[in-house]
Structure 1
Amino acid sequence: MHDHQTTHEHHSTHADGHASRAMALSATLHCLTGCAIGEIAGLMIGTALGLAAGWTVVLSIVLAFVFGYSLSTLPLLKGGLTLGAALGLVLAADTLSILTMEVADNLVMVVIPGAMDAGLVNPTFWVSMMVALSVAFLAAYPVNRYLLARGKGHALTHGLHGDEGAASGARRFIPDLAATTLAAVIIAFMLGGLVVSVADEMGAAPSSSGHAARKNS
């Protein structure tokens, strides 16, 4: 009897640990996706408007928080919460995670030579962003685990997400964005950006050498 109870408790603890890791992974991926979208959008806007590097970084950080909060708010709205209630929960659940990511991400971008000055068609930007976001993920994951273990973070929103059957009215049209789907889209986008920037550099190199050859002749 004692052995059976001990085994049951062991399996229960193992299952709880697995669920906690899965929740932390999902929470971190959601935050990471929001941060990536915000930072890339911020750079695009900053470059288009000709903003100084410092203001572009500020804009990217602001948009990272906006998109990070938005991605976490949508499923709560679909679950029936009001916008005010959903935002209140998301602010409490995601702020520390996103803040951790932004600190880690921007530190890496500052440390990598040329990363802050590279444009969207520069391979240095995309490689640096991939490295920075990977470090940000590794930094934020244990933070989310810590919060979940204490009933905070995404533990506050767990169970409040809606589904297709429960949603009604206009809430039915709120997209159900799984963390893995979001991560796959962002990875594909960043790889696409890297490929385009590498192709642009390869196309520019022959043109430059050809121009130099014609000038020498």
Structure 2
Amino acid sequence: MTASSPSNSTQVTPLQRRAIALAALTQAVYLVDSIARKGLADAEDSRALIESIFNDPSANDSPAEVYGGIKQLSTGIRISREILQGKSMPQTKALMSYSAGLLTIEQRLNKDHKMRSKLGEGMARIDKQKHYFGSAVHPSVCAAIADLYGETISTMKPRIIVRGKSEHLSQSENTRRVRTLLMAGLRAAHLWRSNGGGHLTLLLRRKAILRELELLQKSISLD
């Protein structure tokens, strides 16, 4: 893969796939934390993640295609780089906690056939709503995703506890947005694992993944 063509599926390596999945996961938890602390989340960053919930790539596709292109993950790439570089950010601890929780839940979900079936049936129903309303980010669609998350993923352990300001988290709209983005984060966690990522990957391959993230960021600036 050249720096200018990160989404070319014929050249995407397993390590590059993991870097893209990590960026998506980081972007999801970053937006969750932003809603919890400030009541805000970038609309376009959120849209790419929410739409990814409905996208099921073939084995030959780059994970970037799930998100509509690598540019849609620019925030996740930037934040992932800063974390791996050890830069001090007030939200780092929360982001790592949310990410670890989603990775653990996804791993357990992979072994829970009954829960996966329930989740799949629910998403098939919501997909019909998405087509009816014409948008994955329609309030009714997001509400349905949030409800499904509450009925399924919220019942699994470790339960992800989102911490922030009560004035934001007490609003039902923000609760729905948080749950929808956590569902998107779970999607990214699945891409991470299915492309060879694990809990120790960041520890053992930190420098290599950081290099891939730097290449991805360069490719965005070259477009």
TM-score norm. by structure 1 comes to 0.31
TM-score norm. by structure 2 comes to 0.31
Larger Rg: 1
- Between the two structures, name the one with larger relative contact order (CA 8 Å, sep ≥ 6): 2
- In terms of fraction of residues, the more helix-rich structure is 1
